[in-house]
Amino acid sequence: MDELIAGYRRFRAETWPQQRARFEALAAAGQRPHTMVIACSDSRVDPQMIFSAGPGELFVVRNVANLVPPYLPDALFHGTSAGVEFAVRVLQVARIVVMGHALCGGIRALMDGAPPEARDFVAGWMGIARRAREVALRCDAPDQRQEIAEYEAVRISLGNLMTFPWVAEAVATGRLALHGAHFGVATGRLVLVPAAGPASPA
């Protein structure tokens, strides 16, 4: 905990004085982020840093492998779906970005099987992206399969977003746009991943 407290003290001494007015305005007026980012929980992939965003600009949901499940309203627990609902229906964000990344441990678990220590929840969760594994295994180059699956998982999440009726309606009327992206941890490069068709550098 000591290193976290030290980091907080640096924030109070260095960042807070520069950002105080912004935080006070956000506290008074509420948040109005323009973008929702659905990203992986991986500690190397920070959406706010990657997009050079300040407080109040991004509404971020992070989970293992940046997955969006299909629309399934019931009495169970749906953290990511709740985040999508709040962002689209309450905050009315203008866009949703699903951002995958290189060297994703969740995708590795999908391809090779979850390790024994991660089978209570991770194994079942990665079932959302089962089709990504099937697509990747059709590639003749084994060293490319991980990346293919990472891209395909982004496309699956984009497709699943469109199963939410109020997302599909907002997209149809032009109020909401959906985007896919993939971040290279070692290269720092961002690639845009459409729901269909080839990816392209940002």
Supply the pLDDT for residue 198.
Answer: 87
Domains of the chain: 1-30 (no CATH), 31-201 (3.40.1050.10)
Tens of pLDDT, residue by residue, the chain (202 residues): 999 999 999 999 999 999 999 999 999 999 999 999 999 999 999 999 999 999 999 999 999 999 999 999 998 899 999 999 999 999 999 999 999 999 999 999 999 999 999 999 999 999 999 999 999 999 999 999 999 999 999 999 999 999 999 999 999 999 999 999 999 999 999 999 999 888 899 9
Within 10 Å of residue 95's Cβ, how many Cβ atoms?
Answer: 14
Eight-state DSSP code of residue 89: I
Supply the pLDDT for residue 199.
Answer: 87
Which two tokens mark 124?
């079942």
Query: Does the predicted TM-score (pTM) go above 0.85?
Result: yes
Supply the pLDDT for residue 70.
Answer: 97
CA-based nearest residue to 122, from 10, 40, 2, 185: 40
